[in-house]
Structure 1
C-alpha cells in the first residue's frame, strides 16, 4: 500500500508540474481571448482584473486532484450568454466549495484560474441583472416624452379706466367739430381725356393764349414784324473775323434782368432768332407744343411775349424762312409742319402725316420752296411747298433706324447730313428714291447716342456733332468723298439727365470756325469753342443765369445769343 501510494504521489506531482507548465504556456491566450470586462453603471465601475501571483499559487495547490477528462459545458447568465466549447468531462473528485463555480459541474480540464474567472462573470451578470437598468431607462424615456415645457404667456397690462386715448383727426373720422357725422362725398366719375389731342388739320388763327384777341399791342406786333421782314439786309459777303476781334465782341455781350423772361410754359426744345438788324425777336418751341414769341423792344417785357398752341407735342425744330423772315416754320412730334405768317396772322399747314412722328427739317433750296423732313422711324420726306393741298411729299427710306436731325449743306445743297442713333450719314438728294437708300459717307466714330450733326454755316467745310459720350467732334467736310476725317475731339459734359433738354452744339452763323454749346458746370454758363478745340469764351450771368441753357441760338449778323432752359425761360446776351 505504501508503495502504491508513493507511486500515486509521484504521478500527482508530475501531473501538477505539467499542469503548471501548461498554464504558463497558455497564459497569453487566456489574457487575449478571455479578458476581464469593464462596465460602468450609474457611476460605479466594475473591473475584472487578473488574479495575483498569490491567488495563482493557491489555485495550483487546489487543482492537484482534478481529473483529466474532456467535457463540453455551457453557461447562460440572465442578461448575457457565454458559450464555452472546450471538450470537458465531469470530474469525479470535485474541488472545494470555495473553488467550484455555483451551479456548474466540475470540469477536470479547466484550470482553477478559469473556474475562478467564470465565477466572477456569473456574479457580475447577476449583479447587473439585479439593477434592472433597461427597465429604468425605459421609464426615464417615458417621463421625458410626457413632460412638456411650460408655456410663457405674456400678461397684457390692464387698461386704465381713466386713461386718455390717442388724438384722431376729425376729418379722417368724417365728423365735424360738433360730433355730427359728415355726409358722404359724391362719387366723381373720371373721364379719360387725351393729354395731347391732335390739332385739327388746316390753317389755325394766330391767336395768343396769354392775351386778349382784340389786343391792340398784338395787332401792332404783327404789323411791325410784317414790315420788318420786307426790309432785307444787304447781301454782302460775310468775312471771317479774327479770333482776337471775335473775342472782343463776345466780351461786350451782357445779360440783365430785362433780357430774361419766361416765354413758354414748358421746357424749351428749339430756338430761333429773327434776322432783323433793327429789332430783336426770339422764337422758342416748347415740349408742350407751344410756340412763344418775345419782342425785346417792348417794356415791360411781359407785354412783348405772345404764346401760341399750333402743335400738340414737342416742337423740335424752328426756322425763320430765309426767303421771307415773316414766316416762322415749326415742326412737331405730332406729325405736322406749320408756317406762322405774321402778315396774315395764321398758322398754315405745310405738311401733315399722323402715322409718323417728325424729328427735324431743313430747306433744300434757298427760296425755301422745298423741304427735307426727317422722321423718328428713320425715313425722310421731300416736301414741295409750291403745290399745297396735293400729294407733294415723297417718302424716302434710309438705312438708319432713327433720325434726330437733318441739315443741308449751305453751298452744295444737294448734300444733306442726318444724325441717327449712333451713326451719321451723308446723302445726295439727287440720288434719293423710294426704296432703301445707301449713304455716300458714314461717320461711325461715335460710341453712344447722337444728339445732332450740323454743317458749318458759311462754307460747309466742317461738321460738328454732339454725342452722349461727353465728346464734341469736328470733322473735315471740305471734300465730300468716301471719307470725312475727324479733326478735333472736345471733352464736354453732355449728360443732362432725364429732365433737361439734350445739348446741341451749333455753329455761330457769323463765325465759321466757332461753336456754341450749353454747359453743366457751376456757375451756370454757355461756352464757345474753336474748331481746334480751344476754349474761346464763357457767357456768365451771375444771378440772371441760374439754370442750364440746353438750347442756344446766335443772331446771323448781330452779337446776340439766346438760350432756353427747361422751365420755359429765355436768357439773352447782347451788346
Structure 2
C-alpha cells in the first residue's frame, strides 16, 4: 500500500490503520498521472507568459496616464463651509440652485430679462476704475499691456494661404503644458480674446456674471499673472482687443452695456448703454475701429460712433429675425454685415437700415434649428461658416454678395449638443489660413478641432494631462502659432509653439 494516499483506501482499511500509520500515509504523496503532470506544466507555462506581459505594471501606468491633472494656476477655488443642522436633511447645491460660491442660480442661465430684478444689479453708468476684484496690485500688469500694444497692428493679416501640409506641421508644433493652463474667471466662459502682440502673450476671457479676466502668460509671479475685473453684471457675450488700438479691450454684455477697457486711463469707459436692451455681440465697422455695429438679442442692430459724446447709438434698425446671436462685418466691403440667430443666417446692406423690416441681401438657407454663430472668412469674406443645433457645421460660398441664396459648400456632421451648462460652440476662421476654422468638440479624449472648408479634420489638439474638459469658446492669434480655448469652469488652455 506504499505510495497510495489515504483517501484512496477503502473506508474499512482506513479504520484499521493506527494513528502512526495514518500519519505515514498522509505524508506519502501519490504518483501523478500523465494528465495531472500536463496540467501542472500548463499552469507553469501560463504563469511565465502573463509575467512576461507585465500586465499589472501596464494597467497601473495607464490609470495614472488617463487621470487629468488640474493645474492650480490663476484663481483659487474656495468651497464654502457647510453647517450641519440636526434634523435637517442635506441637499446638494444643484438642488438648492446655488453655485459653489453660494450665489443663487437664475432660472434661465443664458437668456435674461433686463427688466427683471435680481441680486446682481447693473453697474452704474459712466467709467469704472480698472481695479481687480481682489484689489491686487496691477501697475506692473498695466505697464506690460501698454508695452505689448506698442507692437502695432500685425502686418501678416493679408498674407496668402500656405499649403495645407505646412499648416498641419505648424499645428503639430503647438503644445500644452502645466504653465499654459489657468483659471482666469470665476464662472463659465462666454468669450475669449487674444492680444495681437508678437512679443507678449496676453489673453482675456469674459464670463457668465460680467467678469473679465486677463492673463499675462509671461508673468511667473505668485499671482500667476491673472487679474480679474467686473465691468459688467451679466454674461460677456463678445470680447475683442481693438486691432487698430490694442491698448483697448472692448466688451459687450447681456446687461445692455458696451465698455472699453482703456489701459492708458486704467478705466472701463462706457461706450454704449441701453438699460431696456440686452446685447449679444459686436464687430468693428471701420478700419480705425472708431465705429461699431452692435447686435441686440431682440434682433435690433445699432451703429455706435465712439467719437461722439454720450453713450447712445447713431443708427438703429431691426433685421428680419427673431434673435441675433452674432453680428459680423464683411472684411473687404464694410457695407455688408452678417447676422445669425434662431434659424436665420442673413447678409444685410448697412446702407438700407430701417427701423423695422430690413430685408436681407442674401439668405443662407439649410439650417433647420437654432444657429449659434456665423462668421465671414477673415481676409476675403468669400466663405461663411455657421454652426447649428441640428448637429451640422455648414460652409457657404459668399464670393458673390448679390447671390440671393449662396450655395452650401460643406455640410459637416458634428456633435453640437453642448446642453444647458456648456457655452454653445462658435467656430471661427484662422487668419493665417483662411480656409480653415477652429471649433470645440464633445469627443473624448477632450480636444479642440481644426477643419478645412472641405470637411477634412486638419488637426485635433489634445493633452491627456492638462485638457480634460470641453473648450466651447476658442480663439487663434492672427499671426503667431497660438490657440486659446475656454471652458465652463473659467479656465483657459493655451496651445503654442
TM-score w.r.t. the length of structure 2 is 0.75
Pairing 1:208–2:132 present: yes
Pairing 1:454–2:378 present: no
- Distance in structure 2 (CA, Å) of the matches to 1:546 and 1:514: 24
Aligned CA-pair RMSD: 1.8
CA contact (8 A) 2:153 2:244 kept: no
- Distance in structure 1 (CA, Å) of the matches to 2:221 and 2:460: 28
Matched residue, 1:364: 285
Matched residue, 1:513: 435
The offset of 1:341, in angstroms, is: 0.4
Q: Identify if the C-alpha distance between structure 1 residues 171 and 376 changes in structure 2 by more than 3 Å, giving closer, same or farther.
A: closer
CA contact (8 A) 2:365 2:405 kept: no
Q: Which has the larger radius of gyration?
A: 1
- Please show how residues 231-310 of structure 1 align to structure 2 within 5 Å: 231-233=151-153, 235-236=155-156, 237-300=158-221, 302-310=223-231
Which secondary structure does the structure 1 equivalent of 2:271 belong to? strand
- Distance in structure 2 (CA, Å) of the matches to 1:303 and 1:322: 26
The offset of 1:425, in angstroms, is: 1.0
Q: Identify if the C-alpha distance between structure 1 residues 435 and 574 changes in structure 2 by more than 3 Å, giving closer, same or farther.
A: same
The offset of 1:543, in angstroms, is: 1.6
Which secondary structure does the structure 2 equivalent of 1:466 belong to? strand
- Name structure 2 gaps, 5 residues minimum: 1-83, 89-115
CA contact (8 A) 1:415 1:429 kept: yes
Matched residue, 1:483: 405
Matched residue, 1:540: 462
What is the CA deviation profile of residues 306-357 of structure 1, one whole-angstrom value per residue up to 9, with x for unaligned ones?
A: 0000000000000111110000000000000000001110000000000011
Which secondary structure does the structure 2 equivalent of 1:223 belong to? helix
Q: Identify if the C-alpha distance between structure 1 residues 453 and 172 changes in structure 2 by more than 3 Å, giving closer, same or farther.
A: closer
Matched residue, 1:422: 343
- Name structure 1 gaps, 5 residues minimum: 1-168, 174-191
Pairing 1:384–2:308 present: no
Which secondary structure does the structure 1 equivalent of 2:280 belong to? strand
Q: 1:198 aligns with which of 101, 115, 122?
A: 122
- Distance in structure 1 (CA, Å) of the matches to 2:494 and 2:147: 24
CA contact (8 A) 1:426 1:439 kept: yes
- Distance in structure 1 (CA, Å) of the matches to 2:371 and 2:463: 29
- Please show how residues 391-406 of structure 1 align to structure 2 within 5 Å: 391-406=312-327
CA contact (8 A) 1:258 1:301 kept: no
The offset of 1:193, in angstroms, is: 8.5
Q: Identify if the C-alpha distance between structure 1 residues 360 and 170 changes in structure 2 by more than 3 Å, giving closer, same or farther.
A: closer
The offset of 1:399, in angstroms, is: 1.3
Q: Identify if the C-alpha distance between structure 1 residues 523 and 277 changes in structure 2 by more than 3 Å, giving closer, same or farther.
A: same
Pairing 1:529–2:456 present: no
Q: 1:343 aligns with which of 264, 275, 285?
A: 264
- Distance in structure 2 (CA, Å) of the matches to 1:412 and 1:421: 26
CA contact (8 A) 1:268 1:285 kept: yes
Pairing 1:565–2:487 present: yes
- Distance in structure 2 (CA, Å) of the matches to 1:573 and 1:435: 44
Pairing 1:463–2:387 present: no
Q: Identify if the C-alpha distance between structure 1 residues 546 and 370 changes in structure 2 by more than 3 Å, giving closer, same or farther.
A: same
- Distance in structure 2 (CA, Å) of the matches to 1:170 and 1:469: 47
- Distance in structure 2 (CA, Å) of the matches to 1:334 and 1:566: 20
- Please show how residues 24-43 of structure 1 align to structure 2 within 5 Å: none
CA contact (8 A) 1:562 1:572 kept: yes
Q: Identify if the C-alpha distance between structure 1 residues 316 and 234 changes in structure 2 by more than 3 Å, giving closer, same or farther.
A: closer
The offset of 1:388, in angstroms, is: 2.3
Matched residue, 1:502: 424
CA contact (8 A) 2:398 2:406 kept: yes
- Distance in structure 2 (CA, Å) of the matches to 1:485 and 1:342: 44
What is the CA deviation profile of residues 17-72 of structure 1, one whole-angstrom value per residue up to 9, with x for unaligned ones?
A: xxxxxxxxxxxxxxxxxxxxxxxxxxxxxxxxxxxxxxxxxxxxxxxxxxxxxxxx
Instruction: Tell me which moved more, 300-309 or 463-472.
Output: 300-309
- Distance in structure 2 (CA, Å) of the matches to 1:525 and 1:284: 19
- Distance in structure 2 (CA, Å) of the matches to 1:316 and 1:288: 11
Which secondary structure does the structure 1 equivalent of 2:144 belong to? helix
- Please show how residues 133-148 of structure 1 align to structure 2 within 5 Å: none
Which secondary structure does the structure 1 equivalent of 2:143 belong to? helix
CA contact (8 A) 1:383 1:393 kept: yes
The offset of 1:393, in angstroms, is: 2.9
Matched residue, 1:9: none
Which secondary structure does the structure 1 equivalent of 2:239 belong to? strand
- Distance in structure 1 (CA, Å) of the matches to 2:337 and 2:85: 69
TM-score w.r.t. the length of structure 1 is 0.65
Q: 2:274 aligns with which of 330, 335, 353?
A: 353
Matched residue, 1:333: 254
CA contact (8 A) 1:270 1:286 kept: yes
Pairing 1:493–2:410 present: no
- Distance in structure 2 (CA, Å) of the matches to 1:569 and 1:221: 20
CA contact (8 A) 1:261 1:302 kept: no
The offset of 1:194, in angstroms, is: 2.8
CA contact (8 A) 2:270 2:311 kept: no
Matched residue, 1:222: 142
The offset of 1:196, in angstroms, is: 1.7
- Distance in structure 2 (CA, Å) of the matches to 1:390 and 1:299: 39
